[in-house]
C-alpha cells in the first residue's frame, strides 16, 4: 500500500543526505554504473533534476517541460549547489498540498507523486555514488519502488513518451521474504500481479537487487529463461 506523503518526503530527504555523503568521498571518481560520468557529473545531473522539479511544483505546471541543463552558479561548488537545491526541493514538497495538480512523469498527476518518484530515483543515484567507491548499500524501500515503477512510471513512459512495450512477461522472485511478482504487457499498460505466472524470463535475488537490475545496475541476481526479455524491460524503464 502506498505510504503517506510525509513518509515519501522523509525517504527522499534521507536518500539526499546519503547521496551527498557518498559524493563527498571523492568527486573525481568515475561512476562505473553511469559510463563516462564522474561523481561530480552525477551530482550536477541530480541537482539539475531536483531544481527542475521544484520549479514544476512551484509553478503548478500542467504540461511536460523538458529539464534544462544547469550548472552551479559562479563561485559555488557542485556539492554546495546540490545541498541548497535539495533542501529547497524537500521544503517545497513539505509545504505543498500533495493533491495539488502538477504534471508528473508518472501517471499520477499531482505534486505528491514527485516525492515518491524522486525518493526512488535518488536511491538509485545514491547507490551509484556509493558503488563508485566500492559497494552501494541496499535500497531499503525497494518493494514500494518496484510497485511505483510498474504501476505508475512505466505505463506512462509507454503511453506518453513512446517507450517500447516489452514483448514478454517477467517473474520477479525476492529472496528476502519469498515474495513473487509477475509483470506483463496488457494492451497499452502493464500488469503487476503478486504471483509467479508462467513467464518468458525470471529474476531471482534480493528485492533491492531486483530493483537495481531493472535499472541496469550490476547485481547478483539469477536470470532464467530468455535474457533478451530482461533487456526489453530495462530499455522500456529507461524510457529509451
Is 170 found in the same domain as 123? Answer: no
Q: What pLDDT score does 135 carry?
A: 86
Cβ-in-10-Å burial (0-12, 13-18, 19+) of 80 comes to middle
* Residue 230, domain member (yes or no): yes
* pLDDT over threshold 90, residue 239: no
Q: What pLDDT score does 188 carry?
A: 84
Q: What pLDDT score does 68 carry?
A: 85
* pLDDT over threshold 90, residue 168: yes
Which residue range is the domain that position 174 belongs to? 142-237
Is 109 found in the same domain as 72? Answer: yes
Is 149 found in the same domain as 123? Answer: no
Cβ-contact 226, 168 below 8 angstroms = yes
Output the nine-digit C-alpha cell for 148.
511505483
* pLDDT over threshold 70, residue 131: yes
Q: What pLDDT score does 153 carry?
A: 96
Is 40 found in the same domain as 118? Answer: yes
* pLDDT over threshold 90, residue 56: yes
Q: What pLDDT score does 165 carry?
A: 95
Of the three residues 87, 111, 131, the one that is the final residue of a domain is 131
* Residue 87, domain member (yes or no): yes
Q: What pLDDT score does 240 carry?
A: 58
What are residue 170's DSSP bridge partners? 183, 201
Confidence of residue 111 (pLDDT cuts 50, 70, 90): very high
Cα four-point dihedral sign 208, 140, 3, 164: negative
* Residue 136, domain member (yes or no): no
Phi/psi of residue 173, nearest 5 degrees: -115, 115
What's the CATH code of the domain at 188? 3.30.1050.10
d(CA 69, CA 52): 9
Is 162 found in the same domain as 91? Answer: no
Q: What pLDDT score does 107 carry?
A: 87
What's the CATH code of the domain at 127? 1.20.120.450
Q: What pLDDT score does 196 carry?
A: 76
d(CA 123, CA 144): 12
Q: What pLDDT score does 215 carry?
A: 97
Q: What pLDDT score does 3 carry?
A: 75
User: Count of CB atoms within 10 A of residue 195's CB?
Assistant: 8
Cβ-contact 181, 188 below 8 angstroms = no
For the chain, the domain total comes to 2
Q: What pLDDT score does 1 carry?
A: 41
Of the three residues 71, 99, 131, the one that is the final residue of a domain is 131
Confidence of residue 2 (pLDDT cuts 50, 70, 90): low
* pLDDT over threshold 60, residue 121: yes
d(CA 71, CA 141): 30
**pLDDT, tens only, 10-44:** 999 999 999 999 999 999 999 999 999 999 999 99
Span of 8-12, 100-104, 132-136, 144-148 with lowest mean pLDDT: 132-136
**pLDDT, tens only, 179-225:** 999 999 998 899 999 887 778 999 999 999 999 999 999 999 999 99
Cβ-contact 148, 190 below 8 angstroms = no
For residue 222, which of 179, 180, 177, 175 has the smallest C-alpha distance? 175
Amino acid at each position: 500500500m502506498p505510504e503517506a506523503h510525509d513518509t515519501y518526503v522523509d525517504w527522499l530527504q534521507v536518500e539526499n543526505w546519503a547521496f551527498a555523503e557518498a559524493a563527498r568521498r571523492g568527486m573525481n571518481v568515475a561512476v562505473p554504473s553511469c559510463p563516462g560520468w564522474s561523481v561530480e557529473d552525477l551530482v550536477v545531473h541530480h541537482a539539475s533534476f531536483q531544481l527542475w522539479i521544484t520549479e514544476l511544483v512551484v509553478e503548478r505546471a500542467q504540461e511536460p517541460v523538458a529539464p534544462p541543463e544547469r550548472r552551479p552558479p559562479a563561485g559555488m561548488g557542485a556539492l554546495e549547489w546540490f545541498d541548497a537545491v535539495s533542501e529547497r526541493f524537500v521544503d517545497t514538497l513539505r509545504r505543498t498540498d500533495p493533491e495539488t495538480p502538477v504534471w508528473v512523469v508518472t501517471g499520477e498527476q499531482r505534486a505528491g507523486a514527485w516525492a515518491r518518484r524522486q525518493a526512488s530515483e535518488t536511491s538509485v543515484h545514491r547507490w551509484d555514488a556509493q558503488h563508485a567507491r566500492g559497494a552501494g548499500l541496499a535500497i531499503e524501500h525497494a518493494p514500494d519502488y518496484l510497485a511505483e515503477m510498474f504501476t505508475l512510471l512505466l505505463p506512462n513512459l509507454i503511453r506518453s513518451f513512446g517507450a517500447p512495450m516489452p514483448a514478454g512477461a517477467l517473474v520477479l522472485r525476492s529472496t528476502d521474504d519469498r515474495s513473487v511478482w509477475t509483470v506483463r504487457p496488457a494492451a497499452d499498460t502493464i500488469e503487476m500481479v503478486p504471483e509467479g505466472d508462467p513467464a518468458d524470463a525470471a529474476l531471482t535475488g534480493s528485492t533491492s537487487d531486483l530493483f537495481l537490475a531493472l535499472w541496469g545496475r550490476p547485481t547478483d541476481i539469477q536470470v532464467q529463461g530468455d535474457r533478451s526479455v530482461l533487456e526489453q524491460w530495462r530499455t522500456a524503464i529507461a524510457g529509451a
